[in-house]
Amino acid sequence: MKRHLSVCAVLAIFFVAIIAGSNGDVKAQALGKGSGHDTYVLGPGDALTVSVLDLDEMGKESYRIDMAGNLTLPLIGVIHAEGLDVSQIVDAIKDGLSKYMKDPDVTVGITEMRSQPVSVLGEVRNPGVIQLMGQKSLFEVLSLAGGLSPEAGYLVRITREKQWGEIPLPGAQLDRTGEFWTAEVSVKEVINGASPEKNIPIKPNDVITVPKGEIVYVLGAVKKSGGFVLGEREQVTVLQALAMAEGLDRFANTSDAKILRRTPNAQNPSGRPIDLGKILKGKAADISLSSDDILFIPTSGSKQALSRTLDAGINLGTSAAIYRPF
């Protein structure tokens, strides 16, 4: 009988240890250790969960900090929570419960953060600081900034305070100071939903930068010459650039076109002759253009001369028809 009781006692101690360990894990999770919540400063609009071991009045609902910065809880009443972090609000709740309980076991979690400043810079329609309410994704924040401008490039850069953890994107790395995580994501992957896992949650004080897009230039005998932003594309080909320029005009010399590329000596760019006629006919491979390349298509003198001759002939024939005696 004694042996039976001793075995039961051992089992009881074992299960108590498991439960205690489990409670410890839950508490650590609720406090947000490793997530940055333990250093987050509370303020108006934040919503908290508060649970106290052996006190059923707590933990049934979330409690929101009002605009005066106060948190109202059962039994305790009003606690001024603004400016406190999670560990400090836990201590304040313990103090409030000390008249009812000895060494209360208090767990606090943040279910919704108040308005959080996020900076959106660069090529968006409304750059500046956005105050977020609750959790928002990268796509949602870009939408709140009015969306991308026509000059936006193909990458979005994100800078995040180290306390919020590593940015969950491939290639994320710490900056030189070791205090901020940085990462880049393709605009195309975020906008068209090709990689939904890259539409990451945004954290307080993130800086989102949308750089200006790379530009290629199409000059000469085209219908619309000028510089064209690559936008969400990393590069374009000769034919794509020609399409942006709305095609050739009727005097284009397609056999003597050139790609002019910037060199360390800005006064002396390199020139690469291309036979645009063969590319258009599919007899030569299309060529990729780099940022700041110039696709130059000269005017054909013989085509212009022929056009002037034909115009003169048409005008002469028209005049003769008008003035011919009946």
**69 versus 40: which is more confidently predicted?**
69
| Token pair in block for residue 107 | 């767990």
Q: 67-89 pLDDT, tens per residue?
A: 999 999 998 999 999 889 899 99
Q: 108-137 pLDDT, tens per residue?
A: 988 888 768 899 999 999 999 998 877 789
CB 225 within 8 A of CB 164: no
Q: Residue 253: is its pLDDT beyond 80?
A: yes
Q: Residue 273: is its pLDDT beyond 70?
A: yes
Mean pLDDT of 9-28: 36
pLDDT at 302: 57
pTM exceeding 0.75: no
pLDDT at 167: 96
Mean pLDDT of 25-32: 35
**11 versus 282: which is more confidently predicted?**
282
Q: Residue 18: is its pLDDT beyond 50?
A: no
- DSSP code string of 13-30: HHHHHHHHHHHHHHHHHH
pLDDT at 300: 80
Q: Residue 298: is its pLDDT beyond 80?
A: yes
Mean pLDDT of 260-289: 87
- CA–CA gap between residue 63 and residue 45 (Å, rounded): 10
Q: Which CATH architecture has domain 116-210?
A: Roll (3.10)
User: Is the dihedral angle over the CA atoms 15, 16, 19, 22 positive or is it negative?
Assistant: negative
Angle at 93 between CA 87 and CA 97, to 5 degrees: 145
Q: Residue 168: is its pLDDT beyond 80?
A: yes
Could you tell me which CATH number the domain at 215-301 has? 3.10.560.10
Q: Average the pLDDT over each of 84-93, 230-239, 306-315 and give the range with the smallest value.
A: 306-315
The rounded mean pLDDT for the chain is 80
Mean pLDDT of 245-255: 91
pLDDT at 195: 85
Domain 31-112 has CATH 3.30.70.100: no
Q: Residue 145: is its pLDDT beyond 50?
A: yes
Angle at 157 between CA 156 and CA 161, to 5 degrees: 140
